[in-house]
Chain A
Amino acid sequence: MSGEEDSAMYYSDDDCGYDAYYNMGDCDVEEVDVKDDPEYFAYETLRVEQVERLLNESVEALSNKLHITPSLAKVVLLTHEWQLLPSAVAYKNNDWIQNLLNPSGGTKLETIGSKLRCPVCFCPAPPEKFSSIACSHMFCNECWVSHFEVQITQGVSTGISCMAQDCGLLAPEDFVLSLLTKMPLREKYQEFAFRDYVKSHPELRFCPGPNCKLVFRSKEPKAKRTICEQCKTTFCFKCGTEYHAPTDCSTIKKWLTKCADDSETANYISAHTKDCPRCHICIEKNGGCNHMQCYNCKHDFCWMCLGDWKSHGSEYYECSRYKENPNIVNESVLAQAREALKKYLHYYERWENHSKSLKLEAETLEKIKSRINAKVMNSSGTWIDWQYLVDAAGLLAKCRYTLQYTYPYAYYMEPGPRKELFEYQQAQLEAEIENLSWKIERAETTDRGDLENQIDIAEKRRTTLLKDFLDV
């Protein structure tokens, strides 16, 4: 227990120290007891130079340990998640890496006088114009460069391998850069390589914000809230999408896919449409009358029992006798689809509704700000006196955001006591949030103490729910 606390403290110290040292702004660590905040997450913000320094430390450590070039160490680290020990072990045991230590002798090239014939372009060239990586497969430098150019144009950098057939040995960075002279391509190569290094490092994440160059590092990568101090993008450290507590990464992905694709449309179709019993074209019932005429084949039939309308005639209301008849399996499929649609719509409508409320409340915040401004200008209190209102609006957004993300969680929950508890807490949170929203909209007539009390209650409900159900 105390060990956990210690390590967390260590991170936060580390964070502050790092930030203060590089003058990167305020420390992100909240000043609450770490154990009490289910959303607490220790991470640091790094600029490109800092990431390079961090990577270079690992590279140097491995290259010193194994007495190999830094460039080669980079290849090994890249393929082993930047873990020093596994990289060192792999380097000593792994076959393809062993090849680096014991070159396989290479291929004998055809000689023409004092020249060698390149097996790719078939052109003769003096031996000094030939190169190979550790596997000793020799090719002329011109061919190597063409190979690099084609690969880089396709977005490949650290994945560039030897040109020989069935040789997958990766070309180290220094080899590529020693031959590649065209500036734009060199830059592209380095840019792609940097991207590969960060993506292969389990502790590092690029900021998902557009055009943002910052990188985040956490020694314990989890599905927790990460906020970019530069572009203010908020995201889940683990999956890089919008922060989604208490829902987990795979569930939110499933939910968003479900909302985006047309699988529910298919359910809608089976719930609101039937096939014409004669020509089988799909028909949507858009009115109240159950006497249907197919627009395609002009067949008259009964919507209820799908029987021929002629046999109904004026006896429409006795159609019930058909109810016992219809294909039961078919009926139950329709009923199931209708039920599934009803369930999905229940959660989706609330999810959508809170998302819309968040937008509306953002407008409210702007109004509050301008009202505060007007009041301060009229000497009705100082700016700091009204600050609690802005804080309240901020907290409201935070609570509603969490509330929005409780709906996908609940949708995928198995029925049972845990779901009952969850939905109870969800309802409590929802009630307090609506109370808070109501009070903020009527802030001028609401007692400040009352409002601050409400803020406290709402945040407590939110934290309680997350503590019980945020499982990352």
Chain B
Amino acid sequence: MVSLPRRIIKETQRLLQEPVPGISAVPDDSNARYFHVIVTGPDDSPFEGGLFKLELFLPEDYPMSAPKVRFVTKIYHPNIDRLGRICLDILKDKWSPALQIRTVLLSIQALLSAPNPDDPLANDVAELWKVDEAEAIRNAKEWTRRYAMEN
């Protein structure tokens, strides 16, 4: 097995020892660059009560390049598409090597609290979010109940 950079080891240790409230990130047994993530739907959001699975992968040149993150659980959100891809600036052009797994996951949690339909990835969802927010929120709650509350 290839030795891990100290940065990844340190980040992993800290994620396990001092987890962020509402977020769990556990490295895969066979690949320390692959994390199984669970984000709790934030209170007072349409995603409240849901447990959302994500996968996070640290590429070879991490932290010089951004981690790759994707929702595995289906979610009704204007900035997340059907494949679970996330539209978030810090995962793209605003990535900085000073950011960490922890900060990325916090940003994703914040995105659940504050959807941004003006910068959409899922166009149909964003459209409804703008035209009829109440209906969109009902949909989001329904999806949360159906896909993110299995237990």
Contacts and interface: CB of A to CB of B under 8 A. Distances in A.
Contacts of A120: 7, 63, 97-98
B65 A165 contact: no
A112 interface: no
Nearest to A146: B64
Contact of B6 (A119, A121, A165): A121
Contacts of A163: 96-98
Interface string B55-98: 00000010111000000000000000000000000000010111
Given A120-B63, A121-B5, A147 B10 contact: no
Interface in B86-125: 94, 96-99, 103
A147 B98 contact: no
A137 B96 CA distance: 12
Contacts of A165: 96, 98-99, 103
A166 B99 CA distance: 10
Contacts, number: 39
B96 A122 contact: no
A81 B11 CA distance: 43
A185 interface: no
Nearest to A149: B64
Contacts of A147: 64, 97
Nearest to A145: B64
Interface residues of A, number: 17
Interface string A117-143: 001111100000000000001010001
Interface string B2-38: 0001110011000000000000000000000000000
Given A120-B7, A121-B6, A122-B6, A150 B98 contact: no
A83 B140 CA distance: 53
A132 B97 CA distance: 14
A164 interface: yes
Contacts of A166: 94, 96
Contacts of B65: 150
A123 B6 contact: yes
B7 A122 contact: yes
B72 to A, nearest CB: 27
A167 B65 CA distance: 16
B108 to A, nearest CB: 16
Contacts of B6: 121-123
Nearest to B99: A165
16 contacts: A120-B97, A121-B6, A121-B63, A122-B6, A122-B11, A123-B6, A139-B97, A146-B61, A150-B65, A163-B98, A164-B96, A165-B96, A165-B98, A166-B94, A166-B96, A167-B96
Interface of B: 5-7, 10-11, 61, 63-65, 94, 96-99, 103
Q: Enumerate the 9 nearest inter-chain pairs by beta-carbon distance, A residue then B residue, closest first.
A: A150-B64, A165-B96, A122-B10, A163-B97, A120-B97, A122-B7, A121-B7, A165-B98, A150-B61
